[in-house]
Amino acid sequence: MFNIRPVSVGECVQFATAVQFAGAPELNDRVASQCVGSVGPAGMLLADDTEMYERNRLGLEPLKPEWLDIRRGRNRKRLDKNGFTVGGATDETAMRAFLVAAQDLDGAAMIGTTEQSGASGAVPDRAEVEQFLYVEASYADEADYDGWEALWTDDALYWVPVASTDDPRQQMSVIYHNRSRITTRLNQLRTGKRYAQAPKSSLRRLLSNIELLGGMTNPDGGTDLQVGANFLVVGSRARGTHLWGPRVTYRLRRIDGALRLAHKRADLVDNDRPIPTLGFLI
């Protein structure tokens, strides 16, 4: 479930969490995973909705023409048993409520009325590791989804936690994808219809402080190389430019003579606060 809290006419914060059930760990694991994949800042559903909210806001900003009509369902609104105003699934009841809340916060109407708005082998050396990380970053910058996907192992894990996430199978994350979900995300991006990335963000990444952190035993009994790096992503979209600063931990595995990515974790410096829509590959 999620809650949208207006801050001002030009800003709101969306809070999302997964409903958890007592005594149902397997169900809770699945619900948390589905929630992360759909309604978080990097989710595959709500991020697109947020983009459309933003586009509607930008359309309203000039005040004319007053093209967004949110009167639909006005004659069907009613009070439920708890005293809340509700309407049909396709009605604009919620949109009118958001507008009223924004007007109350800002102290002025956006437009005239609320009714007319709207794995194994030789151990890699530093040079090989650095080159691999640079290639991975370049694929992401250039939206080369095929190249980026080909870097991952079959048991891959891609994780962007929030500050409070200790167990990503029970708590919310920005991204928590296994190999299958990585493919799902990329397939959606390939359609060109992910509104959170239509048009695509212009991106450039800088990597520094690359550290070889040692080996970790992988499920095949071999050893993955753990690597850490500081990361700065500059992302530009119509709404402006944003800086993303994660500390990234990688696990690299040699398979058939080439390095592959088995695990990537990106801890954003501001992951304890609301973050903008993250529809691209961090």
pTM (two decimals): 0.67
**276 lies in a domain?**
no
Mean pLDDT on 149-173: 89
Say if CB 261 and CB 250 are below 8 A apart.
yes
Most confident listed range (1-15, 105-119, 124-138, 168-182): 124-138
**112 lies in a domain?**
no
Residue 24: what are its φ and ψ, rounded to 5°? -135, 65
**Do 257 and 187 share a structural domain?**
yes
The residue range of the domain holding 230 is 126-268
Q: Quickly state the pLDDT bin for 66 (edges 50, 70, 90).
A: low
Domain count for the chain: 2
- Residue 102 is predicted with a pLDDT of 66
**7 lies in a domain?**
yes
**20 lies in a domain?**
yes
**155 lies in a domain?**
yes
**Do 99 and 223 share a structural domain?**
no
**DSSP codes of every residue in 130-158:** HHHHHHHHHHHHTT-HHHHHTTEEEEEEE
- Residue 70 is predicted with a pLDDT of 75
Check residues 78 and 252 and name the one with the higher pLDDT. Answer: 252
**Tokens in use for 205?**
């990444």
- Residue 26 is predicted with a pLDDT of 87
**164 lies in a domain?**
yes
d(CA 185, CA 279): 9
**Do 171 and 52 share a structural domain?**
no
From the list 225, 248, 31, 8, the residue with the least C-alpha distance to 128 is: 225
